[in-house]
């Protein structure tokens, strides 16, 4: 666990047990009632065939722990409750979950269910997100906020106004000044008194990757001039009482509480000014940005870590709002935050298999082979080889490397010219590898091929080089003998993971062969936010299978409460407008023609095998027999 820094980024949910397996404590520090869940047992249950008592799901698999989600929500609320009480703050905290972080139906429903006791609401940034938030909140608390962010057209605004009619506590947050005219028009047409908020463009700038849209020149929000125009227009329409919320978002992964407090103070000052101008202000919405510590370093490098926890975050916010409101003699507002990453990241773990590894193998070249090669060396390369040999005799390792490199370069050139054959070139490569190995600089990093698509399951690594904790979920009582990078199934050079937490360019990994016939399973942790929604279908790899797991009293200490296989080949083909049924008919027809021409060669079995391939997930079905193989 030290090697992979599990205690740093994983506590209190993830640890390693005496058997060397990753364990999960879904309730965190809160309860000791149940035994910890052994992640390997969950993976076996999910992936073993039905005949072996498993659920027969294909890899990759997302294991969700709804209790972790519940704990994160409760911890956030508790942190704010404490900060409110200890600072004598005269209002309360009431958060919303931005559904864009993970729109999965069960994640959203869980947030609403777990948060209804403390009025936790939802944030939407588009029409479909608003529709899902509206229907989900119907089952929650009527006081929960429904924050409508994002660019809006009249349909979006009508939906938000209808939501208000349906007694959902909906706030339309103006992202652009032009949206105000639509809100005024539509609310008159629909006969609904809207509650309006404004997203302020703050001067406070977050300099990390996620803050590139913050600051005065940021993409989103209204400037002070625009905010004043909004106040005037609402006043002219007799609707200034509708203006009740001030929102800002300075970016995800805010690195320090200093920067956070700076932003909150600036926004609180705008809030107080709006009160002075006559708006009926009630809520300050501090957006998202509550960061998580991906590498366990608790440092201010916002891209991988933040230097604060939930308690320090809540304390900084409450103190900043209180300070500014007290200075202006303004009633304390309800504090709302839109934390997404901090709520959902921990609750899901992506599990995938390493299926092979490219081992660094020193070619077995005897002195005879070397001699044989040297005899075949073309005239032009003799001087390089002589220099290489002399350097070796003198123990000049740098010289060895240099001349080996020169020899190789010259021979590759000759191969391209057609004056060297492929066996000779292979011998040159082998000789150079031998030299590198002999002086201890051979590349010791292996490539582990993993049954995964980086583009589908870890898009933030591909897009913004976001690192996540990745480690084997078992064999952690064995010292890993190798270091490796992970290469995925896509035919794309970007389909690899070669950056890891701690600034490492490779990961300590075990020999695949040493697992006593057991497969080698890796877990990617803290990826519950953004990854699922951002993932695409590059190479037509679809999403993973998903299981939901809760602690239970049974013999295994857990129960799978839901299991959904990942999209099949047909499903992903449909995403790109193909029609698998028609495709299958075309292929069947071709098989019939073939059978007709060649005689009976088991056409029905081949057709059955192809049908099965449409039905299977696009990933490797390692070890299990497929219909096609049987047919052929
Ligand atoms: N609110 C808004 C307006 C956002 O743009 C975002 C994401 O960037 C969030 C909330 C969620 O932020 P985070 O996941 O950092 O909490």
pLDDT at 125: 96
ipTM: 0.99
Which helix (DSSP H) or strand (DSSP E) does residue 354 occupy? strand 348-358
pLDDT confidence band for 513 (50 / 70 / 90): confident
290 lines ligand 1 (CB under 6 A): yes
- Structure confidence at residue 316 (pLDDT): 98
Kindly report, residue by residue over 307-343, the tens digit of the pLDDT: 999 999 999 999 999 999 999 999 999 999 999 999 9
- Cβ of 549 closer than 6 Å to ligand 1, yes or no, is no
The answer to whether residues 94 and 336 touch, using CB atoms and an 8 Å cutoff, is: yes
Q: Given a cut of 80, is residue 450 above it in pLDDT?
A: yes
Q: For 355, what's the count of Cα atoms within 13 Å in the CB-facing half-sphere?
A: 15
Strand segments (E) across 512-586: 520-524, 545-551, 558-564
Residue 71 · residue 26 · CB < 8 Å: yes
pLDDT at residue 359, rounded to an integer: 62
- Domain 202-339, second-level architecture: Alpha-Beta Barrel (3.20)
Rounded CA separation 7/259 (Å): 27
User: What is residue 96's predicted lDDT score, i.e. its pLDDT?
Assistant: 98
Query: Is the preceding omega at residue 12 within 30 degrees of 0, hence cis?
Result: yes
Tally of CB atoms within 10 A around 581: 11
CA 288 – ligand 1 centroid, Å: 4
The model's confidence at residue 216, banded by pLDDT at 50, 70 and 90, is: low
As a whole number of angstroms, the distance between CA 194 and CA 183 comes to 8
Location of structure tokens 């011998």: 427
Q: In this predicted model, which residue has the larger pLDDT, 536 or 322? A: 322
> How far away, in angstroms, is 98 Cα from ligand 1 center?
7
Q: Is 338 in the pocket of ligand 1 (CB under 6 A)?
A: yes
pLDDT of residue 218: 66
d(CA 102, CA 240): 35
Nearest CA, atom 6, ligand 1: 288
Q: Where are the alpha helices (DSSP H) in 205-293?
A: 224-236, 257-276
Q: Can you name the residues that pair with 353 across neighbouring β-strands?
A: 521
Q: Do 232 and 273 form a contact (C-beta atoms < 8 A)?
A: no
Give pLDDT tens digits for 356-395: 887 655 455 566 566 766 777 777 788 888 888 888 777 7
Residue 294 confidence (pLDDT) above 60: yes
Candidate of 76, 98, 126, 530 to mutate for ligand 1, largest count of ligand atoms within 8 Å of Cβ: 98
Helix axis angle, 603-615 relative to 580-598, nearest 10°? 160
Residue 172 to residue 195: CA distance in whole angstroms: 6
pLDDT in tens, 237-287: 999 999 999 999 999 999 999 999 999 999 999 999 999 999 999 999 999
Identify the pLDDT of residue 419.
85
Report pLDDT for 414: 87
Instruction: Give the per-residue pLDDT at 399.
Output: 82
- pLDDT more than 90, % of the chain: 71
Least confident of 126-140, 141-155, 411-425, 615-629: 615-629
Return the active site residues.
Answer: 491
Query: How many residues appear in the chain?
Result: 632
Of all protein residues, whose CA lies closest to atom 9 belonging to ligand 1?
A: 288
Q: For residue 246, what are the β-bridge partners?
A: 198, 284
Whether the CB of 95 sits within 6 Å of ligand 1 = no
Q: State the distance from the centre of ligand 1 to the C-alpha of 522, rounded, in angstroms.
A: 29
Q: Is the CB of 250 under 6 A from ligand 1?
A: no
Partnered with residue 445 across adjacent β-strands are 483
**Residue 494 CA: distances (Å) to CA of 461, 462, 470:** 10, 7, 18
Among 167, 196, 201, 336, smallest CA distance to 279 is for 196
In this predicted structure, what is the pLDDT of residue 395?
74
Q: Which atom of ligand 1 is nearest to the CA of 338?
A: 10
State if residue 288 touches ligand 1 by the CB under 6 angstroms criterion: yes
Is the pLDDT confidence value at 187 over 60?
yes
Average pLDDT, the chain: 90
Provide mean pLDDT across the span 347-361: 85
* 112-139 confidence digits (pLDDT tens): 999 999 999 999 999 999 999 999 998 8
Between CA 219 and CA 250 the distance in angstroms is 11
Instruction: Give SS3 for 536.
Output: coil
Does the reported pTM lie above 0.80?
A: yes
Give the per-residue pLDDT at 402.
Answer: 84
Q: Are the CB atoms for 134 and 159 separated by under 8 Å?
A: yes
Residue nearest atom 4 of ligand 1, based on CA coordinates: 288
Give the architecture (CATH level 2) of 92-194.
Alpha-Beta Barrel (3.20)
27-36, 291-300, 463-472, 585-594: segment of lowest average pLDDT: 27-36
How many Å lie between the centroid of ligand 1 and the Cα of residue 597?
A: 62
Instruction: Look at residue 357 and give its three-state secondary structure.
Output: strand
Residue 34 contacts residue 554 (beta carbons within 8 Å) = no
Quick one: average pLDDT of 541-556? Answer: 91
Which residues, in sequence order, are bridge partners of residue 23?
A: 15, 38
Please write the tens of the pLDDT for every residue from 44-79: 999 999 999 999 999 999 999 999 999 999 999 999
Give me the CATH topology for the region 1-64+348-360+446-563: Lyase, Ornithine Decarboxylase; Chain A, domain 1 (2.40.37)
């Amino acid at each position: 666990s030290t090697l992979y820094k599990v205690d740093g980024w994983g506590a209190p949910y993830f640890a390693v047990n005496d058997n060397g397996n990753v364990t999960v404590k879904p309730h965190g520090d809160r309860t000791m009632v149940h035994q910890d869940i052994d992640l390997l047992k969950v993976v076996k249950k999910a992936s073993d065939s039905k005949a072996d008592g498993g659920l027969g799901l294909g890899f990759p698999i997302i294991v969700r722990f709804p209790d972790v989600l519940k704990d994160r929500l409760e911890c956030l609320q508790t942190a704010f409750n404490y900060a409110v009480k200890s600072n004598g703050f005269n209002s309360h905290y009431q958060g919303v979950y931005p559904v864009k972080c993970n729109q999965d139906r069960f994640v959203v429903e869980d947030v609403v269910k777990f948060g209804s006791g403390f009025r936790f609401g939802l944030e939407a940034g588009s029409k479909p997100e608003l529709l899902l938030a509206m229907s989900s909140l119907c089952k929650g608390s009527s006081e929960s906020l429904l924050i409508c962010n994002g660019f809006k057209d009249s349909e979006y605004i009508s939906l938000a106004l209808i939501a208000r009619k349906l007694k959902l506590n909906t706030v339309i947050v103006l992202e652009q000044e032009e949206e105000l005219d639509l809100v005024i028009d539509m609310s008159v047409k629909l006969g609904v008194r809207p509650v309006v908020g404004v997203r302020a463009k703050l001067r406070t700038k977050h300099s990390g990757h996620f803050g590139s849209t913050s600051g005065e020149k940021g993409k989103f929000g209204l400037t002070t001039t625009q905010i004043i125009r909004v106040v005037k227009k609402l006043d002219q329409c007799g609707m200034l009482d509708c203006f009740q919320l001030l929102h800002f978002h300075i970016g995800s992964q805010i690195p320090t509480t200093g920067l956070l407090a700076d932003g909150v103070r600036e926004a609180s000052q705008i809030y107080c000014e709006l009160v002075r101008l006559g708006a009926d202000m009630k809520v300050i919405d501090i957006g998202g940005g509550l960061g998580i510590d991906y590498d366990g370093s608790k440092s201010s490098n916002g891209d991988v870590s933040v230097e604060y926890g939930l308690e320090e975050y809540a304390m900084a916010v409450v103190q900043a709002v209180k300070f500014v409101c007290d200075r202006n003699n303004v009633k304390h507002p309800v504090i709302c935050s839109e934390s997404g990453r901090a709520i959902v990241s921990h609750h899901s773990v992506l599990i995938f298999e390493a299926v092979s590894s490219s081992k660094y193998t020193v070619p077995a070249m005897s002195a005879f082979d070397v001699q044989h090669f040297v005899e075949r060396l073309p005239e032009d390369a003799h001087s390089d080889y002589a220099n290489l040999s002399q350097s070796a005799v003198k123990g000049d390792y740098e010289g060895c490397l240099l001349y080996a490199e020169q020899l190789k370069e010259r021979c590759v050139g000759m191969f391209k010219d057609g004056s060297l054959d492929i066996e000779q070139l292979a011998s040159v490569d082998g000789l150079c590898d031998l030299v590198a190995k002999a002086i201890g600089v051979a590349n010791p990093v292996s490539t582990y091929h993993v049954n995964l698509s980086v583009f589908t399951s870890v898009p933030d690594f591909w897009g913004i080089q976001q690192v996540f904790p990745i480690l084997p979920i078992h064999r952690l009582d064995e010292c890993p003998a190798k270091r490796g990078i992970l290469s995925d199934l896509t035919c794309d050079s970007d389909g690899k993971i070669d950056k890891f937490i701690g600034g490492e360019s490779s990961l300590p990994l075990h020999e695949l062969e040493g697992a006593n016939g057991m497969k080698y399973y890796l877990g990617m942790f803290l990826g519950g936010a953004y990854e699922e929604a951002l993932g695409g279908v590059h190479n037509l790899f679809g999403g993973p299978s998903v299981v939901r797991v809760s602690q239970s009293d049974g013999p295994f200490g857990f129960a799978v409460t839901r299991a959904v296989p990942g999209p099949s080949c047909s499903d992903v083909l449909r995403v790109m407008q193909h029609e698998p049924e028609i495709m299958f008919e075309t292929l069947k027809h071709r098989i019939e023609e073939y059978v007709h021409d060649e005689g009976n060669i088991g056409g029905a079995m081949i057709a059955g095998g192809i049908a099965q391939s449409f039905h299977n997930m696009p990933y490797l079905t390692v070890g299990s027999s497929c219909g096609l193989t049987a047919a052929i």
